[in-house]
A and B are shown apart, each in its own frame.
Chain A
């Protein structure tokens, strides 16, 4: 295997006495779709915040495309090709859908007309074309999740971190997002995804890492992980059904 796209060594972060992430070793190959799952509070979102530069790790190393990401600010990390979405979507409510996406596109295309053209293409591709001129505040939740995706995609990342992009969506909408993620992946983007919808994450991921209390408890192909006793325990341990359908 060639040098991994993303690699963490001994990544740790604690809040007060709580070890949110404890010595995480994670590696991702170019072109991979990696699913990061675990019960609530397992540390998934903290991992995302550490990787994208919103939190500083207490210890450990992060390497991405051959360089270290430690101490880099979020905008610099984004420009190096690692983009993220937020679990709680954060559109720019008073800007139009197109302008929202344009903010992302400007990271690669400083000239406004070119950035706008790229943004328009992505808006169309993600099925938001009809809403392009509307303020983002008026979108439905499903549309906002798509907008979140569109913005991150507009920064032309090599690796996309997706934080619960399906939470709160109905079955039809989820199917749409799954198809969309597949399409993005076919376009050459590696994907790290956390998701509570087991069926979707199992279907999408090449490999799954299960996190509990900030540590990896299981790792492997989706089918193998689903039946792993420690995984079942981790979920049932907090009276949580293995595939919650919210």
Chain B
């Protein structure tokens, strides 16, 4: 049974690169979002899932990443490919305040702008797979074991020779670095940035809720969560917005968050894993 499940997962994964050539552009957009949120959920997972340190401020890192990439590109002509690699900085005040930023579309791949939406699809897919690979690799190493132990009991960790502050700091740095990269992607995928849409609690919630629903502190949880929730979120947004019901999808998120905490605190992935192990 377990082998079958793994084989199915691998087969599914192998088919992902083919999606753009088979399905229409809406599916491509949808999958790009799934990968993007899967990536962000995984980045959050390092600090929030494994180390158990809740960071509702993740959206801020994303925002800073997005702004920095946009600013560097618009004002200095620095390619966002480079920007994605070194987004560490920033000071929000220097970022043009609350006016929002618009990036002019040139369609130049060197500027991380693609005519073809499929390019974003592949970039997002690679990003998601890469970060999942990193997390899977770290999980069984010292770093991963220490983070899980810190989540469980910090004092006990200290007594066992774990420099808890250092490891929390490292986790935070890695996670916010990755989230910053996600921000650079976001900036150029959506072309225009406005603080309210990039910063703020709702986006943090979008990220966190996927990881929690899927299973925080597991390698595949955030990805699974994104596959479950991103399509639902898109549908909900679409239908609620049509009816003029602004905010309704966030009410649903809130209820979902409450329900998951009360009834499925470990997330969907551990449940599923147990199901297949039988």
Q: Which A residues fall within an 8 A CB radius of B?
A: 52-54, 73-76, 78-79, 83-84, 86, 90-95, 99-100, 102-104, 106-107, 110-112, 115, 151-152, 154-155
In contact, A102 and B145 (Cβ under 8 angstroms) = yes
User: A167 vs B197: C-alpha distance in the bound complex, in angstroms?
Assistant: 56
Chain A CB count within 10 A is highest, among B141, B145, B158, for B145
Which residue of A is nearest B160, CB measured?
A104
Instruction: Report how far A93 CA is from B149 CA in the complex, Å.
Output: 9
Q: Which residues of A contact B159 (CB under 8 A)?
A: 52, 54, 74-75, 78, 83-84, 86, 152
Q: Check A92 against B152 for contact (C-beta < 8 Å).
A: yes
Closest to A100 in B: B149
CA distance A76 to B158 in the complex (A): 8
Q: Quick check: is B227 within 8 A (CB to CB) of the other chain?
A: no
For B217, the closest partner residue in chain A by CB is A94
A-B contact count (CB 8 A): 83
Band of interface residues on B = 10 to 19
Residues of A within 8 Å of B155, CB to CB, are 54, 74, 86, 90
On chain A, the residues within 8 Å of B142 by CB distance are: 106, 110-112, 115
- Residue of A83, A95, A102, A115 near B152 (CB, 8 A) is A95
Would you give 28 A-B contacts (Cβ < 8 Å), ordered by A?
A52-B159, A73-B163, A74-B159, A75-B157, A75-B158, A75-B160, A75-B163, A78-B158, A78-B159, A78-B160, A79-B161, A84-B159, A90-B153, A91-B153, A92-B148, A92-B149, A92-B156, A93-B152, A100-B149, A102-B145, A103-B145, A103-B149, A106-B162, A112-B145, A115-B142, A151-B160, A152-B160, A154-B160
B120, CB-defined interface residue at 8 Å: no
CA distance A155 to B159 in the complex (A): 10
Q: Are A107 and B162 in contact (CB under 8 A)?
A: yes
Is B140 in contact with chain A by the CB < 8 A criterion?
yes
Residue on B nearest A151 in the bound complex, by CB: B160
Q: In the bound complex, what is the Cα–Cα distance between A40 and B159 (angstroms)?
A: 23
A155 to B146, CA, bound (A): 14
Q: Is A75 a contact partner of B162 (Cβ separation < 8 A)? A: yes
Dominant SS among interface residues on chain B: helix
Closest 9 CB pairs of A and B: A107-B161, A92-B152, A78-B161, A74-B158, A90-B156, A104-B160, A103-B149, A75-B163, A79-B161
The answer to whether B152 touches A106, judged by C-beta atoms less than 8 angstroms apart, is no
Do A155 and B160 have beta carbons less than 8 Å apart? yes
Instruction: Say whether B113 faces chain A, with CB atoms less than 8 Å apart.
Output: no
B53 within 8 A of A: no
Assembled-state Cα–Cα distance A230/B81 (Å)? 77
| B164 is an interface residue with CB less than 8 A from chain A | yes
Quote the shortest CB–CB distance from A117 to chain B (angstroms). Answer: 13
Measured between beta carbons, the chain A residues less than 8 angstroms from B141 are 112
Supposing A92-B152, A94-B152, A112-B140 touch, asked if A104 and B161 sit within 8 A by C-beta, the answer is yes
| CA A162 to CA B152, docked complex, whole Å | 22
**Residue picked from B155, B156, B160, B162, most chain A C-beta under 10 Å:** B160
By a CB distance below 8 angstroms, the chain B residues around A79 are 161
Bound Cα distance from A100 to B156, whole angstroms: 10
Asked whether A99 and B156 contact (CB < 8 A) given A75-B163, A107-B161, A155-B161, the answer is no
Q: How far is the CB of B157 from chain A (nearest CB, A)?
A: 7
CA of A151 to CA of B161 in the docked complex: distance in angstroms?
Answer: 11
Contact at A99–B158, with CB atoms within 8 Å? no
Interchain CB contact under 8 A, B158 and A73: yes
How far apart sit A110 and B163, CA to CA, in the bound complex (Å)? 13
In the assembled complex, which residues on chain A have CB atoms less than 8 Å from the CB atom of B140? Answer: 112
Other-chain contact of A86, B152, B156, B162, B163 (Cβ < 8 Å): B156
B162 contacts which chain A residues (CB < 8 A)? Answer: 75, 103, 106-107
Name the distance in Å between B60's Cβ and chain A's nearest Cβ. 29
Contact with A along B157-185 (1 / 0, CB 8 A): 11111111000000000000000000000
Q: Are A92 and B161 in contact (CB under 8 A)?
A: no
Which residues of A sit under 8 angstroms from B161, Cβ to Cβ?
A: 75, 78-79, 104, 106-107, 155
Q: Kindly state the separation between the CA atoms of A79 and B161 in the bound complex, as whole angstroms.
A: 6
